[in-house]
Amino acid sequence: MLKIGDYEYPEDCMETVKINKKIRDDLSKLCKSKKINKSKLIENFYKSILLKFQEGSLNISSGYLTINIFK
């Protein structure tokens, strides 16, 4: 469970990743300018990977994945 301030999110958790600071900052600027929710972007990315893997099409496509980031 994730608790932020007075709010509780029983099905959510925090994800910590190690990436280059320049890439992180550039992605933050892009998301802010295009009004993209980064947490939803990551969630959709993970869901797409899991769905393609379960379908078996991830191996067929040699690991290539396409997602719509402006959804």
Reported as a single tens digit per residue, the pLDDT across 30-69 is 999 999 999 999 999 999 999 999 998 888 888 888 888 8
| Domain of residue 26, residue span | 2-60
pLDDT at 5: 85
Domain count, the chain: 1
Alpha-carbon distance 70 to 43, whole Å? 14
Report the helix count and the strand count for the chain, using DSSP H and E.
Answer: 3, 2
pLDDT at 34: 93
Domain annotation covers residue 71:
no
pTM over 0.85? The answer is: no
pLDDT at 18: 96
Domain annotation covers residue 66:
no
Alpha-carbon distance 64 to 62, whole Å? 6
Domain annotation covers residue 34:
yes
pLDDT digits (tens, 9 = 90+) for 3-30: 888 888 888 888 888 999 999 999 999 9
